Amino acid sequence: ALGELDAAELEVTFLDPPVTLERIEETLREGYHVLHYLGHGAFSKRRGQAALYLQDDTGNAQIIADDALIGMLARQQERPRLVFLAACQSAVRSTADAFAGLGPKLVSAGVPAVVAMQDFVAVETARKLSTTFYQRLTEHGTVDLAMNEARSTLVTAGRPDAAVPVLFMRLKSGQLWGAEADARGEVLGSTKPRAFWTTLMRQI
């Protein structure tokens, strides 16, 4: 998804297995602007809780409840400005509480923007969405515009699950960089998007 972007202006870190919550936290402390998760997700209607499938120290699958992930991010001195969850049901919300879901909870915890999936999503759809989204975001830095442009690509391609990706955002302007982000203390230094772009991608 990021192969066509300028490698001189984009730093991508792939977290090698085992991908544990502890290792994600350790890596984020180095300072990353984006956390991109590519893996399995699930939502329990009975519990009204989402979960991601990570790994334990031996490489076996480990289910991480949304509260554990959110708590870890909330404790970071500098949180990612964008969390991209290419995981099924990572945006599903409880019918009893619109804020009970991984996407809304992350925004409530202080993440400026969250891309997540409100149902099951195909790998090809997630790939196409990511490609256009990141290409456009690095051009203009406006996350909701980049999301609309990426969704348009899915519609044009005839993807049946084009409506599954959704954006949760707490930025009025939609700008991940600039005056609004500066006011929130989420940017240090230049306001040019390309000068800042650093992405943490992890695969499991």
Banded pLDDT at 130 (limits 50, 70, 90): very high
Residue 60: partners with Cβ closer than 8 Å, 6 or more residues away: none
User: Does the structure show a pLDDT above 60 at 204?
Assistant: no
pLDDT in tens, 32-42: 999 999 999 99
Rounded to an integer, what distance in angstroms lies between the CA atom of residue 165 and that of residue 116? 6
Give me the percent of the chain exceeding a pLDDT of 70: 79
Banded pLDDT at 112 (limits 50, 70, 90): very high
Write down the pLDDT at residue 46: 82
Rounded to an integer, what distance in angstroms lies between the CA atom of residue 132 and that of residue 153? 7
Mean per-residue pLDDT over the chain, rounded = 83
Rounded average pLDDT over 86-114: 82
pLDDT in tens, 64-88: 999 999 999 999 988 899 999 999 9
Q: Which of 166, 146, 110, 112 is nearest to 1 (CA)?
A: 146
User: Does the structure show a pLDDT above 60 at 196?
Assistant: no
Residue that wins the pLDDT comparison between 97 and 112? 112
Which strands make up the sheet holding 61-65, listed edge to edge? 41-44, 49-55, 61-65
Query: Which of the residue ranges 38-47, 62-71, 147-156 would you say has the lowest mean pLDDT?
Result: 38-47
pTM over 0.85: no
User: Which amino acid is residue 124, in one-letter code?
Assistant: E
Write down the pLDDT at residue 188: 30
Do the beta carbons of residue 170 and residue 107 sit within 8 Å?
yes
Helices (H), the chain: 21-28, 66-74, 102-108, 123-140, 143-156, 179-183, 193-196
Write down the pLDDT at residue 101: 76
